[in-house]
Amino acid sequence: MNPKTSGVPAGFVPANFSPGFLTLSGPYFIYRAEGETRLGLLVGEAHSNYVGVAHGGVLATFADVALSFAVHDSERPALAVVSNTLTVNFLSGTKSGDWLEATCRLDRKGKRIAYCSGEIRRGDEVLMTMTGVYTILRKE
């Protein structure tokens, strides 16, 4: 059994985002069904802070990854996006071994700017709400 994927629910597959920081901050997983996309993160020991809970920066990064992916994935070919603003509201903590899922809504998308909102859950419990504004880097 692969320790990086044990605990990942059925239907989720590795997201295989571009290498670099996202490789270090994950691994992230993706679930796609008709009209629904969710991102997942299995919290590991490396995500924990000195008191044994997931570092807030890990959760904020997961929020940014999920929100930006909602914009990125909203068109074909996929869009290149960069973060302008990220607002997170921490409602509860999480620890190593917990499975987290992010759901996002694309609230408004123009030619160059997109607005998203969403939440991160552990089961039925909402751990975080988030909003973001993203610049779309269109080739023109």
Domain of residue 77, residue span:
13-136
What local confidence, expressed as pLDDT, does residue 129 receive?
98
Q: What is the CATH number of the domain that holds 111?
A: 3.10.129.10
pLDDT for res 1: 40
Residue 6 lies in a domain: no
- Over 50: is that where the pLDDT of 97 sits? yes
pLDDT, tens only, 27-48? 999 999 988 899 999 999 999 9
Tell me, yes or no, whether 64 lies in a domain: yes
Q: Yes or no: say if 71 and 84 are a contact pair by the CB < 8 Å rule.
A: no
In whole angstroms, what is the distance from residue 29 CA to residue 16 CA? 8
Whether 2 maps to a domain, the answer reads: no
Report the pLDDT averaged over residues 80-97: 96
Q: Residue 5 — very low, low, confident or very high, per pLDDT cuts 50/70/90? A: low
Going by pLDDT thresholds of 50, 70 and 90, the confidence category of residue 3 is: very low
How far from chain centre, in Å, is Cα 60?
9
Global pTM reads: 0.92
